[in-house]
Structure 1
Amino acid sequence: MVSSQSGMGAIPFASGSGVSFRVWVPNVDGVSVAGEFNSWSPTAHPLDSENNGFWSTEVTVASVGQQYKFVIHEGTNSVYKNDPYARDVTSSVGNSIIVDLNFNWTSTNFSMPAWNELIIYEMHVGTFNDDIDPGLGTFRSIKAKLPDLQALGINAIHVMPAAEFPGDLSWGYNPSHPFAIESVFGTPSDFKDFVQTVHNFGIAVIVDVVYNHFGPRDLDMWRFTSWNQNNKGGIYFYNDDRDRTPWGNTRPDYGRGEVRQYIRDNALMWLEECRCDGLRFDATAFIRNIFGNNNDPSNDIAEGWSLIQWINNEINARQPWKITIAEDIRNNEWITKDTGTGGAGFDTQWSQEFVRPVRDTLITPNDRDRNMFAIRDVIYHRYGTDAFERVIYTESHDEVARSLNPQERPDHYRLPEEIWRGNADSWFARKRSTLGAVLLFTTPGIPMIFQGQEFLEWGSWADNTPLDWSKKDRFKGIWDLYQSLIRLRRNWFNNTRGLRGQNVNVFHINNNDKLIAFHRWENGGGGDDVIVVLNFSDRNYDSYTIGFPSPGTWYVRFNSDWQGFSPDFGNFPGYNTTAGRAIWGDTDGLTFAGNVGIGAYSGLIFSQ
């Protein structure tokens, strides 16, 4: 009997009296469902054929929590396959589990912050906190640290991929079962409870999704049927040269309607069923181009581009307050253009044009080699007219990760470690990495930090090494520095509103002495205009003259050289200054000028 209930996979009836099963398997002789409810019989519960390769049935004796698989019959051969839509599995090589899709959501007052107010915290579930579940973090153990994140001031958590992957250790960018929650992190209910708890702390949840490839290991979708043209992946995958990716020849077939629907359904599952607040799409360059580049249109995948557009249009039509983020890493302004003009329709994208020049400038050993014009360019850079169409960062999982294959690429390190290898807790490493933090939180864009960055975590990040939370107490001043910057960035005290604004003027560039100053504002005026001064040299200045956009007293709201952040910082006075009409000297093209004091490798934030 064809199921009267809509939806794919295993869907329990609201009455509790059975389960609907539906699967897409074209060009086969038959499909059955086997499981604990029928002693794993390959024939007891056949599915009936619908249109276009879909099969369905209703099994009254099946119930939530039971394990199952589909059995594909082709001639005399029968093969057991996991449900591609399975919401839970016993393991990546185990069985599918029937899941109750309902959850007791309690009402909260949470609402998604505007893009210009977002502060993103990237985390990896397995390594963020293992205090409660020793050896491996879980959604449950993350909840124990939410008071710390709330106190820090971040208002969005970016969770690295949480779909079921092979084994217990992974970055998550190798999903075997895209609809299932990684079983070592918790159950589907654990994940929903995590989202609800995060919302109760006033924090959004953005989840990473991987659609540029699946697997390649433990992938039951691979050769789901015996049909595999050119000895490739079969119905879910390209069966020509478009299958190739750097992670395996498992690129989904974006031109096949059922596969497009599968990926679209997955995106909406995270946003609607799990109530996440946004998606970060991994490596979109490899969805739109075989080799992930901008330079050879002959290798573009048009249906990959249209799939992205369709998903973004669906999200905008259904839940326009939710954010979609692309990791394209190809400086492609079309990623964030509206779909109506031919763009991909993402709200924002990760900015390599920020992280690489900034890290290079901070890591460079000699002051004379630091390039203030490169810093100017990263402050000004935009993909479009909106400053918040880019996510900016100095650390992410890619920038700081231990190599999975040292023969292909070397290890990457945390910023303090890169500044002075083996001496990440040194004065130089702390001063220059925190100078990078000042630049991060004052530059136009959506700032993001990687887990532990706020308390000087060092070395290389790896998926088997939990965060050292003891550093939060050891480097409490660094934590306080990040907290202070985040509060100013969010206009916590209503005197730095310009840090949320679109406007910026880099009015002072001293490449000889390695100082730079810029003006941020939204509408201008008291509490809005912000002046940022950054010193990239190992030298203090008692009185350094810069221009100001308006006269009067400018108050120091932040000084990264304050000894409260570290006892060995210089505590060099970044005093309040009075700007007056300039009658001599270089005023940076501004009408008014004033003097500031600034310490070595330090940043100042002024406002009126």
Structure 2
Amino acid sequence: MNVGAHYLGDRRCQFTVWAPFAKDVAVQFPAQSREVALVREGEYWQAIVADVPPETLYLFRLDQAEAYPDPASQYQPKDVHGPSAVVDHNFDWQCSQWSGLPLASLIIYELHVGTFTPEGTFSAIIPRLPELADLGINAIELMPVAQFPGDRNWGYDGVYPFAVQHSYGGPTALKQLVDACHQHGIAVVMDVVYNHFGPEGNYTSQFAPYFTEKYRTPWGSAINFDEAYSEGVRNYVRQNALYWLQAYHIDALRLDAIHAIYDFGAKHILQDLAEAVAEFNQQHNRRCYLIAESDLNDGRVLRPASQGGYGVDAQWSDDFHHALHTLLTHQNQGYYRDFGTCQQFAKALEKSFVYTWDYSPFRQRRHGNDVSDRPPYEFVVCSQNHDQIGNQMLGERLSQLVSFDQLKLAAGAVLLSPYLPMLFMGEEYGEKAPFVYFVSHSDPDLLAAIRQGRAKEFAHFHAEGEPPEAAAVETFKSCHLHWAEREEGAHGTLLAFYKRLIQLRQQLPALQLGDRRDFEAFYQESDRLVGLHHWHNQQAALCLFNFGEETVTYSLEQPGSWQKCLDSNDPQWQGPGAIAAEQVSQAQTVSLLPHSLVLYEKLT
């Protein structure tokens, strides 16, 4: 059943709402002082109503009592407590033949619409697309844009999964952004939240049992995917996923925190979604993907249903981030307790995860499983993302925690890895603005609860002081990028370094993502040296990373002669001067200054 308001043209609209317990449902048009009764269709209520042009405001009235916004509202022009609006999805797509990009080719750039530009809108992103394309970015990942309370929020407090945030520009502006991205060869990944709904403006429970108390998430009641009446919830989520792909031409969905999606039915909702997207791709000749954020380290997420898995296309590797972050910063609080050695980062490079049914001191149990049967392009890695920056009490980016040389080291570790790289907006030029949690809720009690929750969260990291006030406008404004600085001084050097890394990743055959058997990692713990050896047929590349405070040497074990193609110590990259030889052969040594990297290509 296709839920929500679907404009049919000629001022006619079909309204459908899931309300299995209601005795009477009507659609109410406040501006027209009109109400039309819906007809029961099993657990749903439906009617086609005339004289309903696009942008008409409406509410659903239950059992001749209170009227509420549509749970499947496609637009909330008056915020979360106001009426829903009818949307005409007819749009003149300029890039209608776009069919997507190969998964293995993606270089993802995560951004928050509200802080990426001073305007904080979809339209304001469009003029910056040429510069992202010039950098080498071919996919942008939008943090959630589903309607949330107020006009500033990370997006994970959304309560209308089908509605495009009004303060970002609404439905048409999002389509214009997607169309512009495709014209620049850039795919669009949408961050969606299927593990919980936000607290303010959440009227879904008035309609149906969307939630279950059988499980609890860190954010409250779990969404009902396996209890009585769960088929209505599953349909709602399936329809939502397909809606973004079809109505907005989105290329991939990033599924937030799937470890908080509880479903013990015989077919997990993730498998349900994967099958629906696969069918959509086949019908529309598209390449659309599901990318899971998960801290489970579980290969079942990726494996096909024939192997007992869910068939999701890719998943994040938190282990990669944590292992890299601790080598760079030496932080060891909270979940960082589980990391800190070169051996662990080498394992993350080679095996995708550090914990593959190993004992985790932080969790005080074994964690993860082996994913060596999955190709490397099914894993997304990064040195920074919204969560990990936001988990610093003051929202410090790496640029505030480590040296310029270490920023180059982090860039190389991600972009020369065998996995899908993801950058967080601004990292490519060393942005120094923080990225802390911000909201614009109207409920004082809710704001107090957020304050207490944030304090408790940072207690796990033994952080001193208090985090910035989430509801303050100043907190939000402090997170805006200083885009004008991206080509100035060291910022410009780092930007050029990122661009060169992406070029090498795309140009060197040995760095093309393919078979897991085509690379291996190694390390020298006492020297804090990690190496990565890629090969493809006769082509090969060798990456060496010195995370230590001292100059180190590596005796080349790989056969053949090697030509240097990148050295972070070069003056070109504001380094102190390269000491690694331009050419080396097996048994010769390579020297690396502290906090540096070098890349060699094998001569054929």
Same fold by TM-score, threshold 0.5 exceeded? yes
Alignment pair present for 1:325 and 2:291: yes
Q: Tell me the equivalent position of 1:101.
A: 89
Alignment pair present for 1:65 and 2:73: no
Q: Are 2:494 and 2:573, in contact at CA under 8 Å, matched by a contact in 1?
A: yes
Structure 2 unpaired stretches of 5+: 333-338, 353-370, 439-475
In the aligned structure 1, how far is the partner of 2:133 from the partner of 2:514? 19
Q: Are 1:392 and 1:445, in contact at CA under 8 Å, matched by a contact in 2?
A: yes
Secondary structure of residue in 1 paired with 2:177 = helix
CA 1:578 to 1:29, structure 2 compared with 1: closer, same or farther past 3 Å? Answer: closer
Equivalent of residue 476 in structure 1, options 471, 492, 501 = 492
1:432 Cα deviation (Å)? Answer: 1.3
Letter paired with 2:49: V
Alignment pair present for 1:466 and 2:477: no
Structure ID, larger Rg: 1
In the aligned structure 2, how far is the partner of 1:118 from the partner of 1:245? 31
In the aligned structure 1, how far is the partner of 2:497 from the partner of 2:519? 25
Q: Are 1:237 and 1:252, in contact at CA under 8 Å, matched by a contact in 2?
A: yes
Secondary structure of residue in 2 paired with 1:433 = helix
Alignment pair present for 1:163 and 2:146: yes
1:110 Cα deviation (Å)? Answer: 4.0
Q: Tell me the equivalent position of 2:69.
A: 82
1:66 Cα deviation (Å)? Answer: 1.3
In the aligned structure 2, how far is the partner of 1:24 from the partner of 1:172? 25
CA 1:501 to 1:489, structure 2 compared with 1: closer, same or farther past 3 Å? Answer: farther
The structure with more helix, counted as a fraction of residues: 2
Equivalent of residue 429 in structure 2, options 452, 455, 461 = 455
Secondary structure of residue in 2 paired with 1:490 = helix
1:352 Cα deviation (Å)? Answer: 1.4
Q: Are 2:351 and 2:372, in contact at CA under 8 Å, matched by a contact in 1?
A: no
Q: Tell me the equivalent position of 2:36.
A: 45
CA 1:375 to 1:9, structure 2 compared with 1: closer, same or farther past 3 Å? Answer: closer
Q: Are 1:216 and 1:249, in contact at CA under 8 Å, matched by a contact in 2?
A: no
1:208 Cα deviation (Å)? Answer: 0.7
Q: Tell me the equivalent position of 2:109.
A: 121
- Count residues with an aligned counterpart: 528
In the aligned structure 2, how far is the partner of 1:500 from the partner of 1:484? 21
CA 1:454 to 1:305, structure 2 compared with 1: closer, same or farther past 3 Å? Answer: farther
CA 1:418 to 1:507, structure 2 compared with 1: closer, same or farther past 3 Å? Answer: closer
Q: Are 1:498 and 1:529, in contact at CA under 8 Å, matched by a contact in 2?
A: no
Choose 198-207 or 482-491, whichever is displaced more: 482-491
CA 1:102 to 1:530, structure 2 compared with 1: closer, same or farther past 3 Å? Answer: same
1:248 Cα deviation (Å)? Answer: 2.1
Cα deviation, 1:287-328, whole Å, max 9, x if unaligned, reads: 13xxxxxxxxxxxx3139621111101112221622211111
Structure 1 unpaired stretches of 5+: 1-5, 225-233, 289-300, 404-409, 420-428, 580-591
Letter paired with 2:113: V
In the aligned structure 2, how far is the partner of 1:303 from the partner of 1:101? 35
In the aligned structure 1, how far is the partner of 2:62 from the partner of 2:72? 16
Q: Are 1:212 and 1:252, in contact at CA under 8 Å, matched by a contact in 2?
A: no
Q: Are 2:323 and 2:341, in contact at CA under 8 Å, matched by a contact in 1?
A: no
1:378 Cα deviation (Å)? Answer: 1.5
Letter paired with 1:287: I
Letter paired with 1:461: F
Letter paired with 1:251: I
Letter paired with 1:556: K
Letter paired with 1:68: Y
Q: Which has the higher contact order (CA 8 A, sep 6+)?
A: 2
CA 1:508 to 1:556, structure 2 compared with 1: closer, same or farther past 3 Å? Answer: same
Alignment pair present for 1:537 and 2:548: yes
Q: Tell me the equivalent position of 2:259.
A: 285
Letter paired with 1:362: L
Q: Tell me the equivalent position of 1:349.
A: 315
- How large is the Cα RMSD of the aligned pairs? 2.3
Alignment pair present for 1:308 and 2:270: yes
In the aligned structure 2, how far is the partner of 1:18 from the partner of 1:505? 58
Q: Tell me the equivalent position of 2:194.
A: 211
In the aligned structure 2, how far is the partner of 1:574 from the partner of 1:140? 46
Alignment pair present for 1:387 and 2:397: no
Report % sequence identity. 29
Q: Tell me the equivalent position of 1:269.
A: 243
Q: Tell me the equivalent position of 1:372.
A: 342
Q: Tell me the equivalent position of 1:577.
A: 583
CA 1:235 to 1:538, structure 2 compared with 1: closer, same or farther past 3 Å? Answer: closer
Equivalent of residue 219 in structure 2, options 242, 247, 265 = 247
Alignment pair present for 1:193 and 2:176: yes
Cα deviation, 1:544-587, whole Å, max 9, x if unaligned, reads: 531223x23x2221111122222xx21214332142xxxxxxxx
Alignment pair present for 1:8 and 2:24: no
In the aligned structure 1, how far is the partner of 2:594 from the partner of 2:280? 50
